[in-house]
Amino acid sequence: PVLVVDFGAQYAQLIARRVREAGVYSEIVPHEATAADIAAKNPVGLILTGGPSSVYEEGAPRLDPEVFELGVPTLGICYGFQIMAQTLGGQVANTGLREYGATDATIIDDGGVILAGQPTEQNVWMSHGDQVARAPEGFTVHARTGATEVAAFSNDEKRLYGVQWHPEVKHSDYGQQVIENFLHKAAGLPADWNSGNVIAEQVERIREQVGDARVISALSGGVDSAVSTALVHKAIGDQLTAVFVDHGLLRKGEREQVEKDYVASTGVRLITVDAADTFLGHLAGVTDPEEKRKIIGREFIRAFEKVQRDLVEEAKAEGGAPIKFLVQGTLYPDVVESGGGTGTANIKSHHNVGGLPDDLDFDLIEPLRTLFKDEVRAIGRELGIPEAIVGRQPFPGPGLGIRIIGEVTRERLDILREADAIARFELSAAGLDQEIWQCPVVLLADVRSVGVQGDGRTYGHPIVLRPVSSEDAMTADWTRLPYDVLSKISNRITNEVSEVNRVVLDVTSKPPGTIEWE
Ligand code: XMP
């Protein structure tokens, strides 16, 4: 792989994705990795990311200097560029000149391998207070900006390259070309990594891992579990049983989508567990968000364990192969974040419907462990899963249970389900699905306000629309939806859903608000 060495900014995953978009497989490693750790992974290229510190500060993240002796083509970006300069005998300084955001850069001479063929004047995205004041010996400078004499350099003989700006963000005009030039020209790597060969590779690997054992999988209706289940099914067919727990907190039409469309397109053998009564029974009288989440998580595990016991008994009775494996739709960002996280505050106890207890006597199959969400979608499409499932926006495991502010009851669920279906329909009809990361629709069940409809006074509940734009749900901004679309949604909801007499718009970014209300 190409290894992306993470210096602690938020850019590592973005860089890893850009590399894959260029058709080259990439993985992220922490900057603490030694030259030996890195060599052990047989990298074909290294990219050093940006980071929040100053390289000359005490305690600033460093890189084992021997990494530069490995002979692996290396691209330094921003902080990574400065680390390269400093480690190899150049000079990094704070000149008091900062550059943030769109900046004019001038390419010097032919730009070297990584800037070859690009316009002499271009717009690049900068974010730095320090700069490389002097390039190390043996390096040629390829670009400058108003504040920075050394904004890009290379040492072709040692196959070391660097840019002060961020080529991975879309605001850098020729950013992706810098990454591609590094991969294809400097490192000589072909663009041969794509979803088709991921499927072939995974199918083979799963067959090998499973043998003739049986496998179960928890389907949530979301993208990740739908794709991982279909991938495993492609590998081992009816050795797999998928289990779908209907907890009564699903959106309108969701269960049918899984039971009909998904099954029809994939041929997966599916068991649905009807657990709405149990879930709603345990949720009765509960208003605290964390408590709701805990109850839903616990009941999900109980429901799943029960089916699993039944299936194990059934397998025994038939005298067939034992059930030994469980499929999980873990994605690469989960793997990276749980491996490298230092003291991240627990804002909400996230409950993944795939997130089953550790003490299960099963081995895990996680065929999406190395993939990003957009890659998972591409694979899902290739496997023939309907767009309505593959293109779905994220939906939290606890479902509508955390979108009713107040106690969760059947009646309130029905109200919210109708309002949510209208909002989803209208947003899709207006062609806004690509613009919106997700749009939670929230029922303020304990709030009432006075309204007037026809000739009568109403005393109903508000519905909140929470459309957000985001790259990864860690931060988000509220989406500026067209007024006419908002107006249509509002009219339809207040006309068609009795009990709702007001529709309000949430215009808070994250932070300070989270995406969900609970
Ligand atoms: P917040 O509300 O924390 O949400 O800004 C960030 C993203 O996570 C989703 N979310 C969940 N997903 N189980 C999940 O699988 C959960 O318990 C859960 N809670 C929030 C939320 O929809 C958003 O995409």
Identify the band that residue 213 occupies on the pLDDT scale cut at 50, 70 and 90: very high
Establish if 514 belongs to a structural domain: no
Identify how many contiguous H helices and E strands the chain contains and give both numbers.
16, 23
In this structure, which residue's CA is closest to atom 3 in ligand 1?
514
CATH number where 252 lies? 3.40.50.620
78 belongs to the catalytic site: yes
351 ligand 1 Cβ < 6 A: yes
137 and 179 together in one domain? yes
What mean pLDDT comes out for the span 74-80? Answer: 97
180 and 199 together in one domain? no
203 and 56 together in one domain? no
21 and 170 together in one domain? yes
Looking at ligand 1, which atom is closest to the CA of residue 402?
Answer: 19
As given in the structure block, the two tokens for residue 500 are 């709702």
pLDDT, tens only, 1-31 = 999 999 987 789 999 999 999 999 999 999 9
As given in the structure block, the two tokens for residue 3 are 């290894």
Tell me: pLDDT of 171 over 50. yes
In this structure, which residue's CA is closest to atom 9 in ligand 1?
396
pLDDT, tens only, 335-378 = 887 654 333 334 444 544 444 555 567 888 999 999 998 899 99
Looking at ligand 1, which atom is closest to the CA of residue 510?
Answer: 5
User: Annotated binding residue at 221?
Assistant: yes
Would you say 252 and 420 are in contact if contact means Cβ atoms under 8 Å apart?
A: yes
Establish if 516 belongs to a structural domain: no
What is the whole-number distance in angstroms between the Cα of residue 458 and the centre of ligand 1? 33
394 ligand 1 Cβ < 6 A: yes
174 and 238 together in one domain? no
- Which residue, among 469, 488, 493, 483, has the nearest Cα to 420 in the 3D structure? 493
Would you say 90 and 130 are in contact if contact means Cβ atoms under 8 Å apart?
A: no
169 and 212 together in one domain? no
Q: What is the pTM of this model?
A: 0.83
Dist. CA 295–CA 113, nearest whole Å: 57
Higher pLDDT, 488 or 356: 488
3-class secondary-structure state, position 281: helix
- Which residue, among 113, 354, 107, 103, has the nearest Cα to 220 in the 3D structure? 354
Give the range of the structural domain holding residue 331, as residue numbers without chain letter: 195-390
168 belongs to the catalytic site: yes
Q: What is the pLDDT of residue 221?
A: 85
Structural domain ending residue among the three candidates 167, 186, 205: 186
Looking at ligand 1, which atom is closest to the CA of residue 516?
Answer: 2
352 ligand 1 Cβ < 6 A: yes
Dist. CA 73–CA 67, nearest whole Å: 10
Average pLDDT for the chain: 92
Establish if 360 belongs to a structural domain: yes
What mean pLDDT comes out for the span 217-223? Answer: 91
Structural domain ending residue among the three candidates 356, 390, 424: 390
Q: What is the pLDDT of residue 339?
A: 59
Which parts of 78-165 are beta strand (E)?
91-93, 99-107, 121-128, 131-134, 140-145, 152-155, 160-163
Number of structural domains found in the chain: 3
Structural domain ending residue among the three candidates 337, 363, 390: 390
Length of the chain: 518
CATH number where 436 lies? 3.30.300.10
Would you say 73 and 102 are in contact if contact means Cβ atoms under 8 Å apart?
A: no
164 and 231 together in one domain? no
247 and 374 together in one domain? yes
Dist. CA 109–CA 294, nearest whole Å: 62
133 and 217 together in one domain? no
Tell me: pLDDT of 397 over 80. yes
Catalytic residue among 166, 233, 247, 461: 166
Strand partners of residue 273: 245
Would you say 246 and 253 are in contact if contact means Cβ atoms under 8 Å apart?
A: no
CATH number where 16 lies? 3.40.50.880
What single DSSP character describes residue 476?
B
3-class secondary-structure state, position 477: strand
220 and 328 together in one domain? yes
Least confident of 92-106, 246-260, 488-502: 92-106
Tell me: pLDDT of 88 over 60. yes
ipTM of the complex: 0.98
3-class secondary-structure state, position 381: helix
What is the bridge-based pairing of β-strands 214-219 and 240-246?
A: parallel
Establish if 400 belongs to a structural domain: no
Q: What is the pLDDT of residue 344?
A: 35
Q: What is the pLDDT of residue 353?
A: 42
Cα end-to-end span (Å), the chain: 40
pLDDT, tens only, 116-147 = 999 999 999 999 989 999 999 999 999 999 99
Tell me: pLDDT of 466 over 90. yes
373 and 497 together in one domain? no
Tell me: pLDDT of 200 over 60. yes
Exposed / middle / buried, residue 190 (Cβ in 10 Å: 0-12, 13-18, 19+): exposed
In this structure, which residue's CA is closest to atom 20 in ligand 1?
396
Q: What is the pLDDT of residue 345?
A: 37
pLDDT, tens only, 413-445 = 999 999 999 999 999 999 999 899 999 999 999
Longest Cα separation, the chain: 84
348 and 413 together in one domain? no
Dist. CA 8–CA 12, nearest whole Å: 8
CB atoms within 10 A of CB 405: 20
Q: What is the pLDDT of residue 516?
A: 97
Establish if 293 belongs to a structural domain: yes
As given in the structure block, the two tokens for residue 362 are 């099963």
439 belongs to the catalytic site: no
What mean pLDDT comes out for the span 162-168? Answer: 97
Establish if 292 belongs to a structural domain: yes
- The angle subtended at Cα 414 by Cα 409 and Cα 420, nearest 5°, is 120
